Structure 1
Amino acid sequence: MSLENQLREDMKQALKSGEKDKLTTLRTTISQVKDERIRLMRDLTDADVITVLTRAVKSRKDSIEMYQKGNRQDLVDKETKELEVIQAYLPEQMSEDDVKKELVAIIEATGANDAKDIGKVMGQAMSRLKGKADGKLVQQLARTLLSS
């Protein structure tokens, strides 16, 4: 079953079981998937759906950060619940150590040796780690490795 169909099935289950928060989150997410399908003018692969889900996770994390700065714990809790629902559909994220190992291999393969080569490293890294690791973490680790 495709990831998109899994989202739809889980939305039906949430509707039947009365899980309002999960239902709202899944409806929003399915709407974003539909928008992406219209934008690309083709059926979406699971990789495309994962890209949409990753964007949704990033958006929720940014919102949580902003709400924490504004001392809005009620909204932080709401966004955190939505984040948990969406993350359940994403592949397991790599640990920081695993990301670091991949980056070391990429740096050696590209011959990068200073911070000026961050573009080469990030291009390779994001193609290999897309959906498996957070882009901010990858960039932060790449900068650290290249500056040392």
Structure 2
Amino acid sequence: MSLLTDSVFIKALQEDEHIVKTVGGRIYGQAIPMPDEYADNVHVPYLIVSFDGLTNDVTTKDASDNEGQEDHTTISITICAPSNETLHVLAESVRFSIREAMADPGYDDPDNSDIYPLSYDFSTGPMHYDPVKPCYWMKFTYVCVTNR
């Protein structure tokens, strides 16, 4: 179920009332849908959760069918805000929300238990400024160990 891992991150962010209020509900999966090519850019702040691919771990002794039982799935969250200060606060809220969601996964929900990561590594790149939009932004990266 590794291909559904991004949905866990989207759900965690959508269930955080503070984040939803801060971004005005602008939490997107993979890209921001634009109905009109001439429409103005989407207002900041917003979040984009992206599925950035996966690799299968075939190094385990259980890889009997040419694929191991675990995947390493990469999910990124792009955080965009109108000011550096807002970016700092929003980024910390996003990190906390994801950390809390992963600490209490939905294993008690049999329909969704396979899509929750078993563990993850977190990293982030630098903060950026885009003068064209204008906005401040950064990207969080989560490399998750998931069930195949």
TM-score normalised by length of structure 1: 0.29
Richer in helix (by share): 1
Task: Pick 1 or 2: higher relative contact order, CA cutoff 8 A, min separation 6.
Answer: 2
TM-score normalised by length of structure 2: 0.29
Richer in strand (by share): 2
Larger radius of gyration: 1
